[in-house]
Structure 1
């Protein structure tokens, strides 16, 4: 049989990979496991095999050494696939690379850049707007993932259970939102999620998660709602005119 000489054995192309940030504030394995157990509530597919970048910037200055294989295994137990470490000091790099992880230097470069001049304080109802908008007019099926990089995401059809929608900006769903919605994926704490019918499994803004295993309160389920970040808490607020001040 003649082989196709024009076909290469391997091709490398640039692809979009969405990873969550696992920000460590403690390196003790027992403390980390207890926190993950509490966060997931025992839901086996809470993270659904997400890629994870481990961020060590939250560790104290007198940080102890980290057992990277043990940490990778712990995250894997909760369906988080560690791929890189962010904000690692030089003394950690050899151990990180030996464990098969990459060094993520993106955020370090950003920290060293000159800080921009402070912007004027926004009005109470102001919202940061992404540079562009991705618009989806078809239903998002279970197992599908949509990512609006550097953009807001507008969906005019149903987001079904098991689907995941992600945006670096805000998310607007003008139909039932039944899957997972993650806004501010690159750290924008001012991002919000708007849904014409709130029925989500999980919502996240700037990496802060909230799940609804026990369902939403009757006054919110299936109703128009907005989700926003208040400190380290996710708030779900009604958009019904009758219930707004």
Structure 2
């Protein structure tokens, strides 16, 4: 079979994959099942096949040993697709790998400053080497994504920094950012800010009517409608402790 010089059999490129964190506080499958059922409200496509990283760093001391096969099956039942485990103890690694999952060491972000500090770094790495907060802000700004066209149902957009959308976000669409989300139009779909764990991230919209919002993994859904006092008005959403806080952009009144 002839080979075309213009086409390769396979090509590998750097790509950004968004995964939710499934933070486990217990190894009790029955308790997890009940919690997931309550979280999703029994909606079968709540997670829509999202990739998931299982975080076991918060497991209660003395809890029973993890049954990885059952845990994976449980998450898949709720349409989450586990791909890795974070904060795994050394005695867990063999069982985790046997289930086809990867070990997420979580060291990528921690090692980035050291990599940038190596001799003769590339110019784009230099700002990341500076430990001061302004450098962090500059790096986040460089990763900001701006979308000027409507975000359609079924479409998913992700930004490593802030995400700015100047057009409508339709029902069934999903916008995700490691930083904050700004919608200078109507937000109807799902908005997930602070996706990498940034609890100070916020969601802003000139007209707020979302199906779901999330800050740093803390979700709130609005099956019965967005709070009437803020619906279709300029609104910001933030995380206060472990709850979603809804605040008008123009006044201090909270939902």
| TM-score computed with the length of structure 1 as normaliser | 0.87
Does residue 25 of the first structure (1) align with residue 25 of the second (2)?
Answer: yes
Structure 1 ranges of 4+ moved more than 4 A: 241-244
Distance 1:143 1:177 in 2: 14
Among 198, 211, 231, the alignment partner of 1:188 is 198
Does residue 54 of the first structure (1) align with residue 54 of the second (2)? yes
Please name the residue that 1:124 is paired with. Answer: none
Distance in 2 of aligned mates of 1:4 and 1:68? 44
Give distance in 2, aligned partners of 1:212 and 1:220: 13
Q: How many Å apart are 1:91 and its aligned residue?
A: 0.4
Q: CA deviation at 1:191?
A: 0.6
Q: How far apart are 1:109 and its partner, in Å?
A: 7.9
Structure 2 equivalent of residue 214 of structure 1: 224
Residue 102 of structure 1, CA deviation: 0.5
How do 1:29-44 and structure 2 match up within 5 A?
Answer: 29-44=29-44
Among 189, 193, 210, the residue aligned to 1:200: 210
2:103 is the counterpart of 1:103: yes
- Residues 151-210 of structure 1 show CA distances to partners (whole Å, capped at 9, x for unaligned) of 111111000111111111111101000011111111111110001111101100011111
Taking a change above 3 Å as real, the CA distance of residues 182 and 5 of structure 1, as seen in their structure-2 partners, is: same
Q: How many residues align?
A: 232
Q: SS in structure 1 opposite 2:145?
A: strand
Runs of 5+ unmatched residues, structure 1 = 120-127
Stretch moving more, 38-47 or 27-36: 38-47
SS of equivalent to 1:220: coil
1:61-107 Cα distance to aligned partner (Å, 9 max, x none): 32422111111111011111000000101100000000010110125
Equivalent residue, structure 2, for 1:86: 86
TM-superposed deviation, 1:13: 2.4
d(CA) in 2 for partners of 1:169, 1:95: 34
The answer to whether the Cα contact below 8 Å between 1:220 and 1:238 also exists between their aligned partners in 2 is yes
Rounded Cα–Cα distance in structure 2 between residues aligned with 1:74 and 1:226: 34
The counterpart of 1:135, out of the listed 146, 149, 155, is: 146
RMSD, aligned α-carbons: 2.5
Which runs of 5 or more structure 2 residues have no equivalent in the other structure?
114-130
Contact 1:200 1:212 in 2 (8 A): yes
Aligned to 1:174, what secondary structure does the other structure show?
strand
Give secondary structure in 2 for the equivalent of 1:76: helix
Q: State whether structure 2 residue 158 is matched by structure 1 residue 147.
A: yes
CA contact (8 A) 1:139 1:157 kept: yes
Q: Which residue number in structure 1 is paired with residue 182 of structure 2?
A: 172
Deviation at 1:108, TM superposition (A): 8.9
SS at match of 2:162: strand
Q: 1:108 to 1:191 in 2, by over 3 A?
A: same
Residues 104-132 of structure 1 deviation map (CA, whole Å, 9 limit, x = unaligned): 01259849x9xxx998xxxxxxxx88333
Taking structure 2 as the reference length, the TM-score comes to 0.83
